[in-house]
Structure formats: C-alpha cells, structure tokens
Amino acid sequence: MEAPPWLNAFGAGQTVAYKMFETIYRKLEIDIYDTNGLVLEDIQGDIELKYVHLGYPAWPDVHIFSGFSLEIARGTIAAIEVPLQL
C-alpha cells in the first residue's frame, strides 16, 4: 500500500522545521552582547574588497563569492548577508 502524497510532504516539512529551530536556538560561540572587545577609536580611510573568492572546504562545489567586489566609505555602517544554498 502506498502512502498518500501529502504524507511525504508533511514528513519533509517536519525535517526542515526541526533543522530551522535547531539553528535558531543554537548556543553561539561568540557573545554578541559582550561590549568588552577592542574598540578602534581612530580609523582613517575606506574599506575596499576586490575580486574576493570564497567557498567552504567541506563543499568545494559551493561558491559563496566569485569575484565579489565592494567599497564601503568611511563612516558607513554595512553588513553582508550571504545566503547558503546547497
């Protein structure tokens, strides 16, 4: 007897939800609220990344950046979000 198609989808959804909540509730190694780190007071200049190539050693076929370049002007606050697609 074959299981109904929705049952497979339900099982896959449970697996994804478990991994998602595992990620959300994991204990970080870095305390993001710790203010005791080194604060650089006198930074002069801009930040420039040129032709950055980045991947994960465990997944040699996954390329996070492939020739990525970025310029950030002094006094600018910036963040980079890198979606992981395996």
pLDDT of residue 57: 81
Give the global pTM.
0.43
**Mean pLDDT within 40-50:** 86
Residue 43's pLDDT band (cuts 50, 70, 90): confident
CB burial string 32-62: b at 16+ within 10 A, e below:
eeeeeeeeeeeeeeeeeeeeeeeeeeeeeee
Phi, psi at 2, each rounded to 5°: -95, 140
Residue of higher predicted confidence among 41 and 72 = 72
Q: What is the mean pLDDT of the chain?
A: 82
CA gap 3, 46 in Å, rounded: 59
Hey, what are 21's tokens?
Answer: 């909540």
User: Could you read off the pLDDT of 21-42 as tens digits, one per residue?
Assistant: 888 888 878 777 888 877 778 7
